[in-house]
Amino acid sequence: MNITREKAEKFAKHSWQLPLLILLLMSFLTSMIKIPIIVMILALGYLIMHLIGITFGILACCSVKTHGKEKILIPGSVGIVINVLLPALLIAIAIPTFHKARASAIHGQLHMAQRTISAQLPVMVDEMTRIDRVEVTGPREMTYTYTLVSMQKSTMDTAFFSRFIQKELQQEYDTSPKMEMFRKNDVTVNHVYRDEAGEVIVSLQINHQIETTGGFDQPPGLK
């Protein structure tokens, strides 16, 4: 491909100007636009502009043998470097920012669920089980506290109860549509059961780590 010196100089110049234009557009357009599909289109446009910038830089550098280094080699090389490093830098910044924003959104969803359920508490979920409290106890963790009315820990087979209720709760977590948000976002759900005197009978942690089978007629929340 024959490139005139004038075109080679323009390619070299445009190769480092394009990433600066991308930064300018990102600082104004991306912050103003909140519609996800448009943001994705803009991101694709930025990537294409980077590829064009790299292409310009390569074409300019390839013409050095014909037209010499002056006004071509340095700006063309700088353009290639900037167009390669800038997307990598933006990705390195964007990934932790995305994870932080996602974690914040999940935490907000958990607090919303807590407020919705707490407004109805305490409430009996069956003849012997009362939900007393629901709390957000971590970035991806909720804790349900129950009371087994008319039950005393000293008279219970706590090991059997623990095995039975964990199986039921795990099945509910793994299969219930209303637990989809918890599963999707890897939220751990703690279940604390107390007897009528307030003594802890068992404290269970439910997440994706345990796979069990079984039925569950009453969910770890409210109908």
Q: Binning pLDDT at 50, 70 and 90, where does residue 210 land?
A: very low
Q: What is the pTM of this model?
A: 0.59
- The listed CATH number (3.40.50.300, 3.20.10.10, 2.60.40.1930, 3.30.300.250) that belongs to domain 121-206: 3.30.300.250
- Decide if pLDDT at 53 tops 80: yes
User: Helix, strand or coil for residue 63?
Assistant: coil
Report which of 208, 223, 199 is spatially closest to residue 146, judged by C-alpha positions: 199
pLDDT, average across residues 73-80: 94
Predicted pLDDT at 27 = 79
pLDDT, average across residues 128-144: 95
Report which of 148, 122, 147, 135 is spatially closest to residue 188, judged by C-alpha positions: 135
Compute the distance between CA of residue 26 and CA of residue 34 in angstroms, rounded to an integer: 13
Q: Binning pLDDT at 50, 70 and 90, where does residue 31 land?
A: low
pLDDT, average across residues 36-49: 82
CA angle 139–141–144, rounded 5-degree value? 145
- Decide if pLDDT at 206 tops 90: yes
- Decide if pLDDT at 218 tops 90: no
pLDDT, average across residues 141-170: 94
User: Helix, strand or coil for residue 197?
Assistant: coil
- Decide if pLDDT at 134 tops 60: yes
Digit-coded pLDDT (tens) for 13-22:
999 999 999 8
- Decide if pLDDT at 59 tops 60: yes
Per the listing, tokens 């299969």 go with 175
